[in-house]
Structure formats: C-alpha cells, structure tokens
Structure 1
Amino acid sequence: MPFVSRSRVAVATLMLGVLGGVTPAGADPADNASASTLTVAQDEARVLAYWTPERMASALPAEVPTTSGKAPLSLKAVAPENVLRREDGVEPRGGVSPLADVSSMTGRVFYTDDQGRNRSCSGSTVNSNSKRVVFTAGHCVHGGGSGRGWFTNWVFVPAYHQGSPHGTWTASGLWSKNGWINSADRAFDVGAAVMNLRSGTRIVDAVGGQGIKWGEAYGAYIVQFGYPADPPYNGSALHNCPGTSWNESGFPTNSCTMTGGASGGPWLESYGQNFWAYLYSVNSWMFWNSDPTRIYKWQGPYFSYDTAGSLYDAVKDL
C-alpha cells in the first residue's frame, strides 16, 4: 500500500540525456538526472503570484508511488569514503534568531504536477557549499516512469503555517535519480531542489540547514517530520513521529500516522542534540489496512551513496 512523486542539470552530458524527462536506454538507475532551469529571475514574480493562499490551501497531496523497490543498486565501484559519510548541518548565518529554529529547516512544498494539478509535499533544507539545497522525495519533483515529466511552479515554504515568517522560495532546478525518473522505483525515491536567492539571501543562511548522512545502519532512533494534508490533517501544521526505525525489505520503516502531503519530509537522526540534525531518509511510502485515513507506518529509501550521497554531491556546489 503506497505513497508519493522531479529534477534539474548543470552537467552538459547529463542534460542531453534527460531534458524533458527522457533518459538514455540502459541508464544506470543510480545516476542523477535533472530538468532544465525551472525559474529564471524574470519568472519568479509569476511563480510567487501563482501561489496564492487559496491555491496553497486547495493543493492536493502528492501522488503516491505504485511500484515497490525492485531496481538493483548500481554495480559501480564506490570510493571507501563514500560508503559511509556524513555532512554536518549549520545554523542560520548570525546564529539562532527568534524566528529560526530546527523546525524552520522543514517546510511545505507546492508544485504543479505534469498532469496540471496543484499538489503539496514536504521537504527540508540541507547544508551544502552553495547553501541553496532542499531535499525531498523523488515523487515530489518528477512523475516517475514512462511518459511522466518534471513538475513546475515549484516552491518551498519553510516553517509553513498558512504562510511563513521566512517567505516563499522558488526553485531554480530540480534533481532526482534515474531509478525514479525511468521506473518510478521507490528505492530511488529521493529528490533535491536548488533554490533561488530571496532578497539576495541564500535559504540556508536564512533558516539553517540539516546535516545529511548515508551508509548508516538500520535501527536508528529518528524523528520523522512532515505536513500531512489528507484527513484527519489539513496541511496547516508540522507533525512528527519519533521512533526507532527497522529494516523491512531493505527500506527504513517507522510507525507513524501521518497521511498524504507528508511525503518528502525528513527523517532526522541525532535530533535535539544540536541546533540541526542529520537527514537519514525521507517520507516515501505509507501503509494502511482498510481505511486509507488510518496510516500506521511509513518507509523511506535507504540512504546509500547510490541514492542520497551521489545526489548530494551533484547539487552541493550549485
């Protein structure tokens, strides 16, 4: 029983293969791919004007994935330093302000999908050299699979609560994994957005950024965050599910009752020990029994170098 679904490029050789969502036959599912630039400066005003409070309130939760994780991980050799690696988070520039705390790094994502429908997901800022990166699920940036495409009007609203003290940020480009783009395989259901500056400020400088790690063991104590929007929730508030994850068919799993709209939200390890924590996975796939409003557990993609690590390396300097 399922859950939720884009990307951009800076490397010319990748761009030739993925522009418009078309990737070369036989492409490694673990390779990164991205859409062309989403929002150039002259488009920002249009995108910001598009997302009125009414459109945000009426946005549908993200479309759920329907394919279980089956694609094999890449057989490429992985450098030892990338098998297990972590990158630390950072406080907002100038330290903690009254308007910025750990929850300010988590926000609500809004976009128009490749079928023309307005939808919502969740996401999290991640510290990087560029200070411009947001991580989410692959199904929050691209429709996934044959005939599907990248999403548009993509924005991130930190600390969303029917608005935000930190404003709405537009994406310059979106990224995901070939395994998601070509096959809608939730083993690769991870995505990233590179955000435009807002009033000359980079998003991580404004709200802080989580750290990220990959190659970690299953069974970590995590706190899972998101903005559930399907009943009994309405997307107006950030919710969380603390717990010790377990390995279920190769996917980190956690008990949680959040509903659709929470997808892409962060699983944070070492939460509460610093101003920031480590992104361990993202909300990808949810389970229910007979009533889809009664979710009882979630899964996320396992963060290896083939999934989260290589994606982070692709976007960290953009």
Structure 2
Amino acid sequence: MKKHVLLPIGAIVAAGLAATAMTAPAQAGKVTSSDKLASAAGVGDVVKFWLDGNGYKLKSADPYGMEHNRVPKHVSKGAPAADGKPGIVPAIGDEKMTAAKSKNVNLPKTVGRVFFSIGSGLYSCSASSVQSAYHNLVATAGHCVYDIETNHDVVDNWIFIPGYYDGKAPWGVYVGKQAFTHYDFDVYEDADRDYAFVTVYNGIGYDLQKKFVDRGPLGNNVGGQGLAYNQKVGAPVFVFGYPSAPQGDGDYVWTGQTLKWCYGKPYFPVKEPSVKAEEQVGLKCSMTGGSSGGPWILKYSSARRLGYINGVTSLGGDTDGNSRSDMISSPYFDGETFGVYKAAYSLWSGSLVRKDGTIGITEAKSE
C-alpha cells in the first residue's frame, strides 16, 4: 500500500519577464513522453465512475505522492542552470495585457483537484488550467498522471475538477485525453522532471435527468494561467493546492475540500536522492499530501487571478522534526519543460456529448 509520506505534494506581461514565441529551445536526445488516458468511447464510464452515488468517491480519495526515504533538504545556496533565455507564455485573456497590482488575494478559478484510480485505490492531487491553443490543457505533477506503483504507463479514470469545493464541480468534470511528461520522469521517475501537461475533453456535467451536459472547453470556463521557464529563483510566488493528508502529529488541519495557498520566496537547490531529486526549488509552506501538482504562480495578479505557472508541487515534508509539514518543493521549469508543454499545446480534444445527452464520438480534427 502507498505510504503518503511526502507532499507531492501535487496579468499580465510584467517587467522582468521576457516574452517568447511558441518555439522550444533545441534539445539533445528524447525529451517528451506521451500516453493516452481515456478514449472517446470510455469518457462516459469515467464520469459515471466519479459522479454516480452523488460523488461519494470524490470525498473518499486519498492524497497521493511520491514515496521518498528522507525529507528533501536545502543543501546550499546556488542557482539552477537555465538551458536558454527566460521565456513566458501569457495567460488566457492576457495576451495583450500590462501588469496589474492588487493587495487582495483572490483565489484563481483555474485551480482544482485531480482524481484518479490505481487498482482499487482512489487518489487525489491538485492542478491548474494553463494556456493552450484550444483552451484544453492542465498542468500538474508527473506522479499525478503516470503510474509510479505498477507497470502500467498511466493511472486510470483521470479527471480534473476546476474550482472543486466540498464535493462539487461548479464548471464540470474534465476527463483526461492524453498526458505529456518528460522522458526522464516516465522512464526513470526522476523527480527533477516531476511535471505533466494533460489535454482534456470538454467539460461534462449531469442534468436533473442524469443526462450528460457539455460544459465547453476548460479555458473558456475558468481561464488558463500563463507559463514561465528559465526564470531566476527567488522572485515571490503563490502556491495553490488542496492538501488533505494529516500532519505528522495526526492533526487533520487540512480536509482537501477547499483550496489553500502559500506565499513566499523560493530557494535552490533542494535534494533528496531516493527519488532522484537533485535540483528542485523549495518553499516554506505547511501544505501536506493532496497538494501535489498544485501550481507555483509567478507574478500573480489577484485582480485578474492570473499569472505564470513556474512550477508544480512535487515533494515536501517536515524539516525541523516537529512532526508538522513545513516545506514543499517543485521541479525547476526550464527549456525542456517548455518543450514538453509545447508538445501538448496545439492538440485538440473536443466534445463527446451528443444532443440527446449521451456520450458519443464527434467529428474529430486532425492531430
């Protein structure tokens, strides 16, 4: 049985961030791995799996994380080796916006919970909608998509619920279509590459007659964060997620039913060799398991609830021995991260809900 000892956990073109075209830096060797999640024929079964019985499975899911032997440690001061110039992709709706400031912290609509199954186990992580050509892309941790426990490539029954609150899906359920991650995570479970980008079908809901309803593309409903890579470490970030695991002393301060956040200046490097983490970015934060995959957002505008995803929660734990979580960490987003993102950016998913409220295969666009 999985030991949930870590967290995985898992607007704006602003000054200091360089704009970028959708061209990935040249990379040597294989960078991107991809696998299918739900086929068109299987989407209805996935939605029913989670929503039947008034969604009791959603509240039954356990937090999921990568199992590591020790708490990740901040070993020294330093800077990551960027593999190119700093770059950003603007958030949905902010392609021509200028910087905005706000003193209030309004929670982003883009963030939600990921649910999936492995065998008979039900699990949860966190994630966010991110900019893409068809507004159908989710950013999360690699271990929240790829099966790190068995010999299967990906987990089963993968869905994303943006704005999840106490078992509710206000903008519908988005079934994963195809997952993209770095080759080194897929093959070697390298935590330094613990990120994934998932294309999702149009949102699906139930009406009063228990018929399926098409809720439209993800980004059209909740927006999508921008993306930043090859940035200097140290600029403040907001981290959002749905922690649900108890603290080490048994205190259930988190429930997983509402969105939480941390704020601070990241530090580098964080290491934990048992999961091949040698160059992660750390942050002081008390979120526990279930927050894995949650976005680290740079230049977050509380007014527009948008910014640039510059990391996703991967690891975490108790660094001072008081049996309470006090840190989380993320892979450093570099040009190879952008290459994985770009591989998913232009892929279409579409709607699978017929006019009669049943699930069926619609006319597809070429991918």
**Structure 1 unaligned runs (5+)?**
6-26, 70-76, 93-100
**Per-residue displacement from partner, 1:61-116 (whole Å, max 9, x unpaired)?**
113243889xxxxxxx96x5xx3210000249xxxxxxxx8521000000113x44
Q: CA deviation at 1:148?
A: 5.1
- What is the CA–CA distance in structure 2 between the aligned matches of 1:300 and 1:259, rounded to whole Å? 14
Which letter maps to 2:156? T
2:144 counterpart of 1:164:
no
| Map of 1:137 onto structure 2 | 141
| Map of 1:155 onto structure 2 | 159
| Map of 1:226 onto structure 2 | 241
2:314 counterpart of 1:309:
no
Which letter maps to 2:341? Y
2:326 counterpart of 1:296:
yes
Contact 1:145 1:180 in 2 (8 A): no
Q: 2:262 aligns with which of 241, 247, 250?
A: 241
Contact 2:110 2:224 in 1 (8 A): yes
Q: Give the 4+ runs in structure 1 shifted more than 6 A.
A: none
| Map of 1:283 onto structure 2 | 313
Cα 1:273–1:228, aligned 2, differ >3 Å: closer, same or farther? Answer: closer
Task: Give 1:30-41 correspondences, 5 Å limit.
Answer: 31-36=31-36, 38-41=37-40
Which protein has greater RCO, CA pairs closer than 8 Å, 6+ apart?
A: 2
- What is the CA–CA distance in structure 1 between the aligned matches of 2:187 and 2:41, rounded to whole Å? 31
2:64 counterpart of 1:49:
no
2:116 counterpart of 1:111:
yes
Q: Report the RMSD for the aligned CA atoms in angstroms.
A: 2.5
Contact 1:105 1:158 in 2 (8 A): yes
Other structure's SS at 1:300 match: strand
Which letter maps to 1:167? G
Contact 1:142 1:181 in 2 (8 A): yes
| Map of 2:186 onto structure 1 | 181
- What is the CA–CA distance in structure 2 between the aligned matches of 1:228 and 1:212, rounded to whole Å? 23
| Map of 1:59 onto structure 2 | 61
Contact 2:242 2:258 in 1 (8 A): yes
Contact 1:144 1:183 in 2 (8 A): no
Which letter maps to 2:317? F
- What is the CA–CA distance in structure 2 between the aligned matches of 1:201 and 1:309, rounded to whole Å? 26
**Per-residue displacement from partner, 1:162-194 (whole Å, max 9, x unpaired)?**
212111111111121111111111100001110
Other structure's SS at 2:300 match: coil
The worse-fitting range, judged by mean Cα deviation, of 194-203 and 220-229 is: 194-203
Other structure's SS at 1:315 match: helix
- What is the CA–CA distance in structure 2 between the aligned matches of 1:126 and 1:170, rounded to whole Å? 15
Other structure's SS at 2:176 match: strand
2:202 counterpart of 1:197:
yes
| Map of 2:231 onto structure 1 | 216
**Per-residue displacement from partner, 1:222-268 (whole Å, max 9, x unpaired)?**
01110001122111000000111111243221110011000000001
Cα 1:291–1:175, aligned 2, differ >3 Å: closer, same or farther? Answer: farther
- What is the CA–CA distance in structure 1 between the aligned matches of 2:171 and 2:152, rounded to whole Å? 32
| Map of 2:296 onto structure 1 | 267
- What is the CA–CA distance in structure 1 between the aligned matches of 2:7 and 2:327, rounded to whole Å? 11
**Per-residue displacement from partner, 1:4-59 (whole Å, max 9, x unpaired)?**
39xxxxxxxxxxxxxxxxxxxxx95x6111113x2233322211110132111111
Identity of aligned residues (%): 27
Contact 1:91 1:207 in 2 (8 A): no
Cα 1:252–1:274, aligned 2, differ >3 Å: closer, same or farther? Answer: farther
Report the number of matched residues: 274
- What is the CA–CA distance in structure 2 between the aligned matches of 1:48 and 1:147, rounded to whole Å? 25
Cα 1:65–1:140, aligned 2, differ >3 Å: closer, same or farther? Answer: same
Q: CA deviation at 1:156?
A: 0.4
Other structure's SS at 1:205 match: helix
- What is the CA–CA distance in structure 2 between the aligned matches of 1:270 and 1:264, rounded to whole Å? 19
Contact 2:299 2:308 in 1 (8 A): yes
Contact 1:65 1:186 in 2 (8 A): no
Other structure's SS at 1:261 match: coil
- What is the CA–CA distance in structure 2 between the aligned matches of 1:187 and 1:152, rounded to whole Å? 24
